[in-house]
Amino acid sequence: MMTLKALIFDVDGTLAQTEKHGHRVAFNLAFQKAGLSWQWDIDLYGDLLEIGGGKERLRHYITHYLPEFTINEPLDQFILSLHRQKTIYYRQLLVNNAIPLRLGVKRLITEAYNQNIKLAIASTASLENVKALLDTSLGEEMSKYFEVIAAGDMVKNKKPAADIYLLALEKLNLSSGECLAIEDTNQGLIAATQAGLKTVITINDYSKNQNFDDAFLVLNSLGEPDLFFQVIKGNNYHHDYFNLELAQKIIEN
């Protein structure tokens, strides 16, 4: 029988709703600071989220939405400095007004840590931005619970490629059958599935209409003992909120 050894969490949208109120706002502030009139509204940002990675998203926007755009420096350099400024704003936003963790996240992390289940991160966002979220929303003490952080440019191909999950597994020194992935998007699901992981999805506004056929369980949130999750798809084995017991049942089946 397979035993659960680790939980691997996606970050943006899964741990906290950072995209709409964090990353998007920080991009817009960086545009303003650079004297650009670009504005990423909530709907446009939803479309742009198909491209994982802030730098990749900027490049996609420039090449697909602004074909006439020209600058006096290499595009790579321009994107890097714009993204660097965005990262500064993102951290500032979090420090000044931490984005709360989603329902059940802190409880599950605490439960795992107390039961010696390893905790890992597999994120498309840059390491700096992942750390900023963990430090501000979980606190520096609890953010150390994450033994492995696989993020951003540590791999060549970002989600939906499996690379970041394969890196997390390698760093954990565990096989995919011993770990469970927690994600919020179709791209994340594809990445985790390609890495051989079973996946639980907690949907959000941006991802709710995506395809989650390959997920083991699709929920509206992880839920709490006094605030149950809603099951959108899959077998919840009569549980009302997501805990390690349910995670273990998923791994076994």
Look at strands 217-219 and 198-202 and give their pairing.
parallel
Number of residues lying near ligand XBP (CB under 6 A):
17
Instruction: Please report, as residue ranges, which positions from 57 to 116 form the binding site for ligand XBP (by CB under 6 A).
Output: none
Give the residue at shortest CB distance from ligand XBP.
54
123 vs 137 by CB, closer to ligand XBP: 123
Q: Which residue bears the tokens 């150390």?
A: 144
Does position 160 interact with ligand XBP (CB under 6 A)? The reply is: no
- Check if 184 is active-site: no
Among the candidate windows 35-43, 50-58, 99-107, 171-179, which touches ligand XBP by CB under 6 A?
A: 50-58
Distances, alpha carbon 143 to alpha carbons 3, 14, 36, 139, in Å: 24, 15, 35, 6
Among the candidate windows 5-13, 72-80, 166-174, 240-248, which touches ligand XBP by CB under 6 A?
A: 5-13
Instruction: Please report, as residue ranges, which positions from 168 to 207 form the binding site for ligand XBP (by CB under 6 A).
Output: 188
Contact residue for ligand XBP among 53, 104, 160, 223 (CB under 6 A): 53
163 vs 236 by CB, closer to ligand XBP: 163
Q: How far is the CB of 60 from ligand XBP (least distance, A)?
A: 11
Does position 28 interact with ligand XBP (CB under 6 A)? The reply is: no
Catalytic residues, by residue number, are: 10, 12
Q: Using CB under 6 A, list all residues that contact ligand XBP.
A: 10-13, 19, 23, 52-54, 123-126, 129, 152, 159, 188
